Amino acid sequence: MGKVTSNQSSVAKGNASAPRRLQNSPVMMAVFELIAQERICHRQLQAAGKFKHGCDSLEISSCFKLAVLTEELGEVAREAYEMHEHNDFTPERRAKLRQELVQVAAVTVAWLETPEVQS
């Protein structure tokens, strides 16, 4: 994974043993499943021709990947703002925010899958 600095997490340092409370977290596992499903959706959309390259591709630059990630983060900001501005904490609004957060995570995971950040 490259040079590890002192402020990196134990997982980044190669110590994959997470604290027991995290290993047994059904919420965390459900979140990871949502992210994995979103990554699968990205691959299906790419295969269907909706876009040429995903953020897991070396064919697009890190600057472009950052633009995609920033756009997704902007959608999170919009949903969070709308939720609080309109005092709208309904299940539907929370689901929209959750979906936008999952998309940010999925884009981040796609970028992490590239050799450019693996080596």
Structure tokens given for 9: 């997490």
As a whole number, mean pLDDT of residues 68-97 equals 97
- For residues 45-53, average pLDDT: 92
Which residues lie closer than 8 Å to 51 by C-beta, 6 or more apart? Answer: 45
The pLDDT, as a whole number, for residue 14 is 55
What pLDDT sits at residue 17? 63
Would you state the structure tokens that stand for residue 78, as one six-digit string? 């919009």
Stated pTM of the model = 0.79
Average pLDDT over residues 53-75: 95
DSSP string covering 15-68, please? -----HHHHT-HHHHHHHHHHHHHHHHHHHHHHTTS-S--TT-TTS-HHHHHHH
Q: Are 16 and 1 contacting, i.e. CB atoms less than 8 angstroms apart?
A: no
For 110, the token pair is 């796609």
pLDDT at 25: 87
Q: Give yes or no for residue 11 having a pLDDT over 70.
A: no
Assign 3-state DSSP to the chain and report helix, strand, coil percentages, each to 5: 65, 0, 35
The predicted pLDDT at position 21 comes to 67
Q: By the 8 A CB rule, do 79 and 100 touch?
A: yes
